[in-house]
Amino acid sequence: MMRSMLMIVLVSMLVGCGNGEEEARQDLAGSPNILLIVADDLGYSDIGPFGGEIATPTLDTLAREGLTFSNFHVLPTCSPSRSVLLSGVDNHLAGLGTMGEIMTPEMEGHPGYVGHLNFEVAALPEVLRAAGYHTYMAGKWHLGSEEATSPYARGFEETFALVPGGGSHWNDRRPLSPPQTMIYRRNGNIVASLPDDFYSTKDYTDHLLEWIASDHGDGKPFFAYLSYTAPHDPLHAPREYIEKYAGKYDDGWDALRETRLERLKALGIVADGTQAFPRLPNVKAWDAMSEDKKREHARDMEVYAAMIDYMDEQIARVIDRLKETGEYENTLILFFSDNGANGALPTAYPGQTEEFLNSFDNSLENRGLVNSFIEQGPGWAQASMSPGRMFKAFTSEGGIRSPCLVKVPGQSTNAGTMNHSFFHVRDITPTILDFAGVPHPRKIGERKIRPLQGNSVLDLFVGKTQAAYAGADEVGYELFGLKAFFVGDWKILWMPEPFGTGEWELFDVKQDPAEMNDLSAQHPDRLEEMIARWEQYKKDNGVLDISYDLSDIE
């Protein structure tokens, strides 16, 4: 039934190319809406459907009414992941071979390293808007700082966007480090000031609801990109939400890492014999810390949990509105995180100074409130990514495995089930286009567009198959000199000391998601073949061989 509808939409659009706006609206009547919700630095096991203890009733319901995907992979950090999300091609081809904040002289002149979503790719909203969709974006952009590279310039008709990667969630707009500036843009124009009661998660949601309401009933479907900055540091949440979690994390990160792992086992997400990657050497055992340090770190995790709890409530506002207007059953909803939980300290941000960090009030009473700068840190991030190795910024599973929830329109025969097949963030744009019945363009105006590298996994979403397309689990990675390549359940991983061995390692990630048992000596031929595949990936995607200083992210 759904496939028939999609084909009708596609044919009508192809036949109607060049028709007036009224005819385009008529062609799109009844076409599905798309709601894409992306959390920022959310951990794999934080939310209820993945065993988390944080209250996420909205996401719990979404999982019951839709599908949960346990083997969805993203990129290690924000902007590279988002470039793949909105283009359907590798980050090195989309312009984010590195983050814009971490450019080196060797990258000069390379279109894959311009630090913004380049114009060799079609941005998903450009394609959908040209087909007649309303396109809305509220939240974090991080794919270009200038007006010409803003979301408004890349196909979104209504935007309220945080331009850089993060900063204060309140109206004071304090950045992540002194050289950065917290710029918000409203439809390309810089926002001069924020409301006194501004809180990022609330205000992003307010804007999106306003746009959906203003266009409701005009016969056009919408694509809405709700790009929260929660729970990215600095960790901030309303006081009453923080207080809900008082004492919740007093047992510490060692206990939480093991508790989360046991819940993942109980849900069948990881095998019974799985062990969590050990606590990192630079992270103290919880019981070895002073009581004052324990209280501070426990509060940090309370604030982190409060941010996710609050975000879940805001998602409920959007879903409730869709139900009130009769649009819920005609909306594809996707939810996931852009990368793993963030274990880096604030000192890792480029240009950071001790003077800047000392200017905040991080007293126990003020942690998580206005004028504080606290973070999850490596101890809690390891717990959030349990059983994974490392966290955000790394090509190990702790950096690139994300929780993923999908709700397709109507009643699904596979609702409430969990799927363990591999698919990748590069497949999201092709799937949304397939779902909407919109072809990917070869050109936009005079711009020649790169073809998609990902493929549609719509059949997986609607339950027609139990595995994604052939080749979905063959994916290469490179970021900050860290490398990986997947073929099925096999993965090769290269990370320098002290994060890895400085040599290629080989893992069966189905049996060993913590990547602790290097099988390269047992399977040298497989290792050699996969290294050759990575070298071809490097050539095909214009990956530069650059050395990075990773000392700040230990």
* Residues catalogued as catalytic: 78, 142
CA 414/CA 65 separation, integer angstroms: 9
| 400-420 exposure pattern, b = at least 16 Cβ within 10 A, e = fewer | bbbbbbbbbbeebebeeebbe
Asked whether 524 and 510 are in contact (CB, 8 A), the reply is no
Rounded to whole angstroms, the Cα distance separating 306 from 240 reads 9
Two tokens at 534?
């990575």
- Nearest in space to 360 (alpha carbons), one of 348, 350, 376, 346: 346
What is the signed CA dihedral for 364, 366, 372, 378, rounded to 10 degrees?
30
Q: Let me know how long the chain is.
A: 554
List the alpha helices (DSSP H) in 164-290.
200-215, 239-243, 252-266
* Burial class for 205, CB neighbours closer than 10 Å (0-12, 13-18, 19+): buried
3-state secondary structure 11-41: HHHHHCCCCCHHHHHHHHCCCCEEEEEEECC
**How many other CB atoms are there within 10 angstroms of residue 535's CB atom?**
13
- Taking CA atoms, 372 is separated from 94, 148, 364, in Å, by 35, 33, 10
Q: From CA 294, how far away is CA 291, in angstroms rounded?
A: 5
Query: Distance between CA atoms of 213 and 425, rounded to whole angstroms?
Result: 29
Residues 6+ apart with CB under 8 A from 469: 455, 456, 457
Q: Are 456 and 118 in contact (CB under 8 A)?
A: no
Phi, psi of 128 (to 5 degrees): -70, -35
Question: By the 8 A CB rule, do 530 and 520 touch?
Answer: no
| DSSP annotation of 238 | -
Nearest Cα neighbor of 305 from 365, 253, 267, 370 is 253
Residue type (1 letter), 347 = T
Measure the CA–CA gap between 478 and 482, rounded to whole angstroms.
5
* Residue 259 DSSP SS3: helix
Contact 171, 371 (CB under 8 A): no
Long-range contact set of residues 269-274: C-beta below 8 Å, sequence gap at least 24: 269/50, 269/51, 269/70, 269/418, 269/420, 270/387, 270/513, 271/510, 271/511, 274/387, 274/512, 274/513, 274/514
Residue 376: Cβ-neighbour burial (10 angstroms; 0-12, 13-18, 19+): buried
Q: Report the alpha-carbon distance of residue 458 to residue 465 in Å, rounded.
A: 9
